[in-house]
Chains A and B, each alone.
Chain A
Amino acid sequence: MTEVPKIVVDRLRAALPKRTGPERAHPDADVLTAFAEQALSATERDGVLEHLALCEDCREVIALALPAADIVAAPLAAETEAVRATVSRAGAPAPHKLSFARPSLHWAALAAGIAVVAAVLLVRPGKLNQAMLPSENPQLTATAPPVAAPQIASSPVPSSPIASSSTNQSSVSAKTDEAPATPELRLSKKLKAGQGVTPSHPTESGMLLADNKKDSVQADKLSAAPSARARALDAPIVGRSTEAVEVSGAAVAVGVAPSADSSLVARNDAPAIEKAKPALPEMDVNGLQKTQAAVVPAPARSQARNMMSAVKLAPTASQTLTHNVAWAIAGGVLQRSLDSGQSWQNALRADHPLLCYASHDDDVWTGGQAGTLFHSANRGVTWVQVQPSIKAQALSSDVTHIDLRGDERGEVRGPAEIVVSTSNNEIWSSSDGGTTWEKK
Chain B
Amino acid sequence: MPTSAQSGHAADVAAALYQRSGAAAYGVSAEQFAAILDEILRKYLSYNSAPNSARAPAEQKAEFCAGLRLEELALARACAAGNERAWQDFISRYRQKLHSMALHITRDGAHAAELADSLFADLYGVNAHDPNRPRSSKLASYTGRGSLEGWLRTVMAQEFINRYRKQKRTVSLEEQAEEGMQFAAAVPEPACASDRLSERKLEAATDEALAELSSEDRFTLASYYLDGRTLAEIARTLGLHESSVSRRLDRLSTGLRKRILAGLRMQGMSHAQATEALETDVRDLQLNLRSRLTQDSGARTFPEGKVPAQDAGDGSTD
Which residues of A does B touch, CB under 8 Å? 1-16, 28-41, 43-44, 46-47, 49-50, 52-54, 56-57, 59-70, 93, 95-97, 100, 102-103, 270-272, 275, 277-278, 280-284, 289, 294-298, 301, 329, 331-332, 346, 351-353, 355, 369-370, 392-393, 396-398, 400, 423-425
Contacts and interface: CB of A to CB of B under 8 A. Distances in A.
Nearest to A394: B107
B253 A1 contact: yes
Given A9-B289, A95-B315, A331-B303, A32 B154 contact: yes
Contacts of B59: none
A57 B161 contact: yes
8 contacts: A1-B246, A1-B250, A10-B285, A33-B146, A69-B236, A281-B167, A294-B108, A425-B287
B257 interface: yes
Interface in B89-123: 96-97, 99-101, 103-112
A31 B295 contact: no
A64 B288 contact: no
Nearest to A271: B104
Interface in B35-72: 44, 47-48, 50, 67
Interface residues of B, number: 105
Given A34-B145, A70-B314, A5 B237 contact: no
A275 B97 CA distance: 18
Given A7-B278, A39-B67, A370-B228, A66 B222 contact: no
B225 A423 contact: no
B314 A424 contact: no
A316 to B, nearest CB: 31
B226 A102 contact: no
Contacts of A34: 145-146
B107 A61 contact: no
A29 B175 CA distance: 31
Contacts of A298: 109
B221 interface: yes
Given A12-B225, A63-B237, A5 B297 contact: no
A37 B150 contact: yes
Given A7-B206, A277-B228, A295-B109, A46 B285 contact: no
Contact of A65 (B145, B156, B168): B156
B147 interface: yes
Report which residue of B144, B278, B315 has the largest number of chain A beta carbons within 10 angstroms of its beta carbon: B315
